[in-house]
Structure 1
Amino acid sequence: MTTLAELYERFVPSDCPVALRAYDGSAAGPRDAESVIELRSPLALRYLATAPGQLGLARAYVTSTLEVRGDLHATLHALLAHARGGLRARDLAAALRALGPWVLRRPPLPPEEAPTPWRRGLVRHTRRRDADAIAHHYDLSNRFYELVLGPSMVYSCGVFPTADASLDEAQAEKVDLVCRKLDLRPGQRLLDVGAGWGSLVRHAAEHYGVRALGVTLSRRQAEWATAAIAAAGLDGRAELRLLDYRDIGETGFDAIASVGAMEHVGTAQLDAHFSGLAARLRPEGRMLNHTITRSSGHHGGRMGPVIDRYVFPDGELQGPGTVVSALHDHGLEVRHTESLREHYAMTLREWGANLERHWAEAVAEVGERRARMWRLYMAMSRVGFDLDRIEVHQMLAVRTGPRGAARMPLRPDWERARASTPGVALR
């Protein structure tokens, strides 16, 4: 009879430093391994067999039928770094023959999993479908996000001024960097698309003297942000609306920021997305687009099944060249772009540490299965940035005015000293 350890060795190279301990008593891999995968029950095999690859792994991990002993990020990093280039059909067939047909009986799916894409509707990125997708992820629990994100309540990568900077320092630097790149001045009007919990609109209003409008599709984000704006005494200077950005009526903004929002737009909608934003921006106004990107334009736009089913339903990523082209196609001349890939890996490291520090309270807020999914999602994403499977870019563009006027500096000047001490408005 074939043991589970023997099957494991078919899929994992012998030099991989991750061991296996299985419920049938068999073991594989280094005896002194710091990373150990435990297969706790036959149910784990059914998840893995009926959805080979990352989705089956996620289902088994979320339901605790599969456990990882040791650092989850290090374990996933080792498995992916030593991967043979995908699951081979002959190995899968041999494993199924050895296990028997029972393993193909699909087990109940975790209730935290979103429906398959075809069950969400015939057309992607309608207003209703986008609102449902945002609610699935962002309307989870404001307290849970406080535990994971920390006082900044910024859910995008920080910019670490030094390797030993704190997460709060990195997020304060990122928010202020956005303001500096946009060259915000007192009295100007800022639009923040996908404004989250309102950290940017509060910081821009308080420290740069602008009138800032943010929009979000998350009801809980809007409620939290509105309360934070009032507590900071910024009513009349900063506003957060529960609104689809496509329904914004105002135009003539001096600057537009989109930080971590374009991932929800969809490749087919990029033209409409950027043309709509360009129409709301005054000539010579600046737009900053901060988004996760593919490392290559050859990859498909849609996210993998784990992210689509558990994290960001209908999310899509594009190569940076695709995004730059779409900006230019609608009168937004890209003047500067930079990759912050390593910064996002560091940010995810800190979010993961926050989750572990507050594990009991996080579980009380959202349940153990969802907390485990977040642990897995952040570790997987961190590995993706580590290995350059995914990247993140800030792209600064300007809507050129008559005869090409742009009012841009001859050289980037946003690394100058901050306009004021950052971080105050983030707390």
Structure 2
Amino acid sequence: MTDQVNTRGLALEFLLEVEKGALSHVALRGMLERYQYLDKQERAFLTRLCEGTLERRLELDAIINHFSKVPVKKQKPVIRNLLRMSVYQLKYMDQVPDSAVCNEAVRLAQKKGFGTLKGFVNGVLRSIARGIEEISFDDLSICYSTPQWIVDQWVEEYGKDKAVRMLADQYVEKPVTIRINETKTTKQQLKARLESEGVTVQEVDGMDCALAISGFDYLRALSSFREGLFHVQDVSSMQVALTAAPKEGDICLDVCAAPGGKSLHLAELLHGTGLVEARDLTDYKVELIQDNIDRSELTNIRAVCHDATVLDESWIGKADIVLADLPCSGLGVLNKKNDLKYRMTPEQQQELVELQHRILDIVWQYVKPGGKLIYSTCTVHKAENVETVDWFLKTHPFLLKKEIIMLPGVDKYDGFFIAGMERKEHD
């Protein structure tokens, strides 16, 4: 590695940015785009150090607190995050020598203007390096670096055995899954194209429209991506359009669509017929959808800015399919969004349940009699999933036709919930 100090310095900047409120996946993507000149090995080191330090934060803090006289919460942000990323290297990155971790941390502390604390940093890290193998934690929250309220909720709703498997799934390395744009290419053609670009490609069991890719450096550097031959999408998420099963000529409305993967899937399944209107709340989100539409070159889909909580009378009774993939706590995808567990609170989760009810109360009106409403979330919280559907069916003229519950670590893919409902012919 040509410049580990610089790479570690970038990791420290990332951690400070996230602590100030930046979304981790956005901050990391932006950093990797800015520093494309780093070689593949450095980028891999940087990515792992950033993501690993973030996702293991509670455990790292517990280790630091065990060895430091100054508790983590009382440390300066630079020192706190410098210690976290150093302890992550000591515990989880065996190829990095302990002496290098300690020396580079001291150097970075001095470079950041904390030379007076370099003795503290050095002393704490060398104590941890000597004693890290001797400490362990029984507490599930610390072991899996997941806030206690989430652990309690999962144990209550799914039992301890399943909860532990769900918690452990956050740390399982998974390939990126992509959905083939079958309007532009075939699975075999795309597989050959990706392999020619140096990408490792695997089949995905039971999903003809999907492939799993790994070994690539930077997604946007792949010409196959820029040409719209595929879209990055988890297999769980692909089930949404497959559950909707549009028939040619259907009019479809996706009320919370960004970044547009499910909408595009619907449009592809329509084989150039019908229409998909993909909506979201802000111009920024609509631009994300439009960017993906432009790459795909599909002509039967449009992006529109609209607030799903506001009734659009022009759509009442017009849609064959309404897709409501609604804002949720996101706790089914912690494997991909490693700071989400720290940002979410029980109070916010309850507010999201209320928002889901409010949106469903509006958007069901767009469904034709005999048409379909597909409700989905990327969470595992029952109040946002089965309980919301139970409430909806008691108060609206729909029948439940299909319900899919996927739990991370228990089922093969990300945590996801899908309910396929049909509007009664007569309310």
* Normalised TM-score (structure 1): 0.43
Per residue, is there more helix in 1 or in 2? 2
**Bigger RCO (CA 8 Å, 6+ sep):** 1
